[in-house]
Chains A and B, each alone.
Chain A
């Protein structure tokens, strides 16, 4: 449980990064003229759409991790051996990815940033703008669904984390925790409709970077360190995989 709480916290911290792009969308989604309740519903639907995409990606990544890990079937009997070698490799790859994303948050690795965000995201985003102003409840939902697929290093990092759990359910829960973590900030953005001061945003981005860096190191550690030293071991509720 603590693991998911930590992911929730990371998502919350990370959402200061989201304010950059997704926050703009949330603002653009704006208020519904027919009242406060309708506005809240609009933003809830948008965030539900986003969350669904994240959960889907998480479940898929987890299942993919499972597919990668199970067919080998050769459980390397380490001390206490519950992680086979494939899962270790997956953890190492995911950990490295997360560390890379975190470093990028600190302004290092600019090339990676271009790689992560450069995939025609701007054209996709601009073409989706037609959904923002459309009427009806389905439009914000649809926009949220597409929004979830927009390239974002934060999402990549957590999808990598989900893949390293090597099962559909924990993968789903990983992304669900993260997605719920981003809820407060995004709802606030929609409701309040004003951006945070840039200095605060920068601090938020650093906070997000630190969280991801920590998670990445933990994940990397799961892959490299012998089981006895495993961090997850110490968590109450254990590691779900």
Chain B
């Protein structure tokens, strides 16, 4: 499916091994990671017209029918129903059990045997080998017992062990599919089709074949397959998967739409603005698939342990049987050995980490947070130091008016006049001033004869007066007078690292506007939420000390270092790692790539447009800084779940193993215990679904992407709620 080789199970979206189970369901070829997924997928998606889908269920039903009959007769045997005068019936009952057991074993045991065979071809011995071995031994012993007219047969053990393991696999797979629910919309980009409109003809075409400028129709409740602009229709879109925006975004003619978002309530006709494979959605899809198919370090460790665990258990089972055969009849000793094999099946261990990780990745993805390394979540949970970059991370990355110093005029008048000039400018300063005026709802004073003076400012005429906005040099050049107090305040602002724009009219300098790359409004609450005894927050900036200090103060970070080149930042991270073990770096992903790569976990907040070149392991949506505490909470919950899963899987195995070796656990009970163990691991992991959603704190009325709906380039424009008046 993916050109990078990773194949995901059609049912639970966990990676499948080299030799997957291939089945054709509803005419499509599917790969499954295990037998359980194969059953669960066909139960869920099998159409009744499909013989194939029903066939699996029929076999299971027939197997269950036979096993239950075996179990019934065996229960009656154990209860002593065939003693006394009925004793001569016993061999016939045994024969009947054999007749029932043989097809049951073929039906139910076949998939396990096939799995063992596939693994053996790869040179691996896995848990299915233990099942096959124990069931086979019980069956063969019983068959001999029937021929030899022995007193006991254990067909019930063979059949019930298979039945319980099949049931366990099914339940496990059903739970895993639940875990994959959040990931489905992200992975859909590869299989999605678009309704392409060409004149009066509408055709369904795979998204990957759609190019720029194509007209595409999107019906209500459909996923918007391409980035584009609305040509016709009005609707609302749910963009959470891509942008993290949890509210519905209104769309009308001319609004941009994002691939992967869901068109809620009206039909739309859109013109694509980029090819189907270049959308962020398609990139996210590739990236998530990559992350899911790679194994985290914990998982590799668990796999290695399982690899040595199985041969160990095999020899332990043999030793147990050998030990007990000295004290007990052969069949009892054999049963104890088999119980050891069955109870030691490390099914749950293999499931512990990937399930929790994929749940965590899916949970984050639903709010537009992307995890690109499976191990990143675990690393993030262990992080002791979180270093922020300044520009573009804690600050908006674009200049804005933060202070207005005036000389006996109203700040609004200053802004209105300055905006009248600056709206003719394409310069960042110009945009900052017009935005500030717009934010206050001011109408710019119309200026004529506007001339841009490169490097100095801008001038024009309004109401018959010359109006000028520019730097100190421009003001001296004009020869206009400055009130001493205003001049002094301007100079002190300049010393503090602000860029200062003077505004004057009527031959007099009236005001000084201080521009700064202002701290994001959510920076402080985010840092407050992050700071805890276990997590040190610091600021690493390449900027001058006063500017850095200002942002550190505004964000509430005590430990700030300034004047660091990218190389110095990397060196600082290396030093800090010695003290804090695991360090994470939050940067803007555009300029900080190498620094993010140096950290154990790189987190990008406003990432590069091309995800493939992204260096960060975790990518937050643009304007998603406020989600960082939540992301870390999720990461911690994932790590906790993995640890409890592993502890449970191993601890449970060891305790049950001890019981089995002591002869206190019947093989059937052992199978029940084992099947229950993996179901419990699934249930424990599914608790991750109940984690709360991120809450946007501290700023009532402010929303991360509230301002993003209007501009042609979304998510970079911000309102100006924080202008101070001097």
The 6 sampled A-B contact pairs (Cβ below 8 Å) are A63-B78, A127-B43, A127-B44, A131-B57, A141-B65, A142-B61
User: How distant is B312 from chain A, measured CB to nearest CB, in Å?
Assistant: 32
Question: What distance in Å separates the Cβ of B105 from its nearest Cβ neighbour in chain A?
Answer: 17
**A143 on interface, CB distance cutoff 8 Å:** yes
CB pair B65 A52 closer than 8 Å? yes
The answer to whether B65 touches A172, judged by C-beta atoms less than 8 angstroms apart, is: no
For B49-71 the 0/1 string (1 means CB < 8 A from A) is 11101110111111011001101
Q: How far is the CB of B679 from chain A (nearest CB, A)?
A: 14
The residues in B between 639 and 667 inclusive whose CB is less than 8 angstroms from any CB of A are none
Contact (Cβ within 8 A) B79 A56: no
| B76 interface contact, C-beta 8 A | yes
B99 to chain A, nearest CB (A): 16
Q: Give the residues in chain B near A133, CB-CB below 8 Å.
A: 48-49, 54
Chain A interface, DSSP helix/strand/loop, else mixed: helix
Contacts of A168 in B (CB 8 A): 75-76, 78-79, 81
Q: Which of A53, A130, A132, A142 contacts B53 (CB 8 A)?
A: A130
Contact, CB under 8 Å: A130 / B46: yes
* Alpha-carbon gap, A138 to B63, bound state (A): 10
Tell me the minimal C-beta distance from A81 to chain B in angstroms.
22
Residues of A within 8 A of B46 (CB): 127, 130
Q: Residue on A with the closest CB to B54?
A: A134
Question: A128 near B: Cβ within 8 Å?
Answer: yes
Q: Is B301 an interface residue (CB 8 A)?
A: no
Partner of B57, one of A55, A130, A172: A130
**Contact status A134-B75, CB under 8 Å:** no
Complex: chain B residue closest to A124, CB-CB: B43
Complex alpha-carbon distance, A136 and B55, angstroms:
10
* B47 close to A (CB within 8 Å): yes
The total of chain B residues at the interface (CB under 8 A) is 28
The answer to whether B76 touches A172, judged by C-beta atoms less than 8 angstroms apart, is: yes
Using Cβ atoms and an 8 Å threshold, which residues of chain A touch B64?
53, 142, 145-146
Given contacts A52-B68, A139-B54, A145-B61, 16 further A-B contacts (CB under 8 A): A49-B65, A56-B68, A56-B72, A59-B72, A63-B78, A127-B46, A128-B57, A131-B58, A133-B54, A139-B58, A141-B62, A142-B59, A142-B65, A144-B61, A172-B72, A172-B76
Minimal beta-carbon separation of A183 from chain B (angstroms):
17
Query: B58, A136: Cβ atoms under 8 Å?
Result: yes
Q: Is A60 an interface residue (CB 8 A)?
A: yes
Interface positions, chain B 375-409, Cβ under 8 Å from A, are: none
| Chain B CB within 8 A of A96 CB | no
**A142 contacts B60, CB within 8 Å?**
yes
Contacts of A233 in B (CB 8 A): none
Q: Which chain A residues lie closer than 8 Å to B69 at the CB level?
A: 52, 56
Q: Which of B65-117 contact A (CB under 8 A)?
A: 65, 68-69, 71-72, 75-76, 78-79, 81
Q: B75 contacts A59, CB within 8 Å?
A: yes
B59 contacts across to A, CB distance below 8 A: 138, 142
Bound Cα distance from A128 to B46, whole angstroms: 9
The 4 closest A-B pairs by CB, nearest first: A142-B61, A56-B68, A134-B54, A130-B48
Judge if A194 is at the interface, Cβ distance under 8 Å. Answer: no
B490-507 with Cβ < 8 A to chain A = none
In whole angstroms, how far apart are the Cα atoms of A121 and B81 in the complex? 35
B81 touches A169 (CB 8 A): yes
CB of A191, distance to nearest CB on chain B (Å): 22
Assess the A138–B58 pair: CB atoms within 8 A: yes
Contact of A129 among B48, B58, B62 (CB under 8 A): B48
Which of chain A's residues have a CB closer than 8 A to the CB of B55?
134
Which one of A127, A133, A144 has the highest number of Cβ atoms from chain B below 10 Å of its Cβ? A127
CA distance A139 to B79 in the complex (A): 32
> In the complex, which residues of chain B have a beta carbon less than 8 angstroms from the beta carbon of A132?
48
The distance in angstroms between the C-alpha atoms of A133 and B49, with both chains bound, is: 8
Q: Is A167 an interface residue (CB 8 A)?
A: yes
- Interface flags for A40-57 (1: CB within 8 Å of B; 0: not) read 000000000100110110
A53 to B55, CA, bound (A): 20
Q: How far is the CA of A62 from the CA of B81 in the complex (A)?
A: 14
User: What is the bound-complex CA distance between A52 and B65, given in angstroms?
Assistant: 7
Known: A127-B43, A132-B48. A146 touches B61 (CB 8 A): yes
Give the residues in chain B near A62, CB-CB below 8 Å.
75
Whether B54 lies near A130 (C-beta < 8 A) is: yes
B interface footprint on A171-202 (CB within 8 Å = 1, 0 otherwise): 01000000000000000000000000000000
B13, chain A: closest CB distance, angstroms: 20
CB-CB under 8 A from A138, the residues of chain B are 58-59, 61-62
A169 touches B79 (CB 8 A): yes
Which residues of chain B (603-624) have a CB below 8 Å from chain A? none
Bound form: Cα–Cα A143–B69 in Å: 16
Give the docked Cα–Cα distance between A229 and B578 (Å): 80
Q: Are A56 and B61 in contact (CB under 8 A)?
A: no
State whether A55 touches B72 (Cβ < 8 A): yes
Q: Once the chains bind, are B68 and A145 in contact (CB under 8 Å)? A: yes
Checking A59, A127, A131, A134 against B71 with a beta-carbon cut-off of 8 angstroms, the contacting residue is: A59
Q: Give complex CA distance A133, B47 in Å.
A: 10
Q: Are A63 and B61 in contact (CB under 8 A)?
A: no
- Tell me the bound Cα distance from A118 to B50 in angstroms: 28
> Which residues of chain B come closer than 8 Å to A141, judged between CB atoms?
61-62, 65
Contact B48 A167 (CB under 8 A): no
Residue in B closest to A133 when the chains form the complex, CB atoms: B48
Contact A130 B68 (CB under 8 A): no
In the assembled complex, which residues on chain B have CB atoms less than 8 Å from the CB atom of A60?
A: 71, 75
A139 CA to B62 CA in the complex, in Å?
A: 8
Binary contact track B440-472/A, C-beta < 8 Å → 1, others 0: 000000000000000000000000000000000
Given known contacts A56-B68, A59-B72, A130 and B61 CB-to-CB distance under 8 angstroms: no
Q: Is there contact, CB below 8 Å, between A142 and B62? A: yes
A171, B48: Cα distance in complex, Å: 36
Task: List the A side residues contacting B50 at CB < 8 Å.
Answer: 130
Q: Give Cα A59 to B79, complex, Å.
A: 10
A residues 30-78 with Cβ under 8 Å of B?
A: 49, 52-53, 55-56, 59-60, 62-63, 66
Closest to B61 in A: A142
Chain A residue with Cβ nearest B53: A130
Q: How far is the CA of A146 from the CA of B79 in the complex (A)?
A: 26
Contact status A63-B79, CB under 8 Å: yes
B60 contacts across to A, CB distance below 8 A: 142
- Expressed in whole angstroms, the minimum distance between the Cβ of A71 and any Cβ of chain B is 13
Asked if residues A169 and B76 are in contact (CB atoms below 8 Å), the reply is yes
CA A6 – CA B431 in complex, angstroms? 89
Query: Nearest chain B CB to A75's CB is how many angstroms away?
Result: 19
B72: which A residues are within 8 A, CB to CB? 52, 55-56, 59, 172
| Bound Cα distance A132, B43 (Å) | 13
- A2–B69 CA distance with the chains assembled, in angstroms: 26
CB contact between B48 and one of A53, A134, A136, A142 (< 8 Å): that residue: A134
Q: How far is the CB of B293 from chain A (nearest CB, A)?
A: 29
List residues 174-223 of chain B with CB under 8 A from any CB of chain A.
none
Q: How far is the CB of B717 from chain A (nearest CB, A)?
A: 46
Tell me the minimal C-beta distance from A46 to chain B in angstroms.
Answer: 11
- Within the complex, the shortest CB–CB distance from B224 to chain A, in Å, comes to 29
Chain A nearest Cβ from B294, distance in angstroms: 33
- In the complex the two chains form, what is the Cα distance from A178 to B349 in whole Å? 43
Contacting residues of chain A (82-140) with chain B, CB-CB under 8 angstroms: 127-136, 138-139
Give CA–CA (A143, B65) in the complex, Å: 10
How far in angstroms is the closest Cβ of chain B from A158?
Answer: 16
Residues of A197-219 contacting chain B, CB below 8 A: none
In the complex, what distance in Å separates the CA atom of A56 from the CA atom of B60?
Answer: 16
Report the minimal beta-carbon distance from B36 to chain A, rounded to whole angstroms.
15
Contacts of B49 in A (CB 8 A): 133
Q: Which residues of B contact A172 (CB under 8 A)?
A: 72, 75-76
- Output the nearest chain B residue to A171 by Cβ-Cβ distance: B75
Select from chain B the residue with minimum beta-carbon distance to A172. B72
A143 partner residues in chain B, CB cutoff 8 A = 61
Residues in A whose Cβ lies below 8 Å from that of B81: 168-169
- B552-567 vs A, CB cutoff 8 Å, 1 = contact: the mask equals 0000000000000000
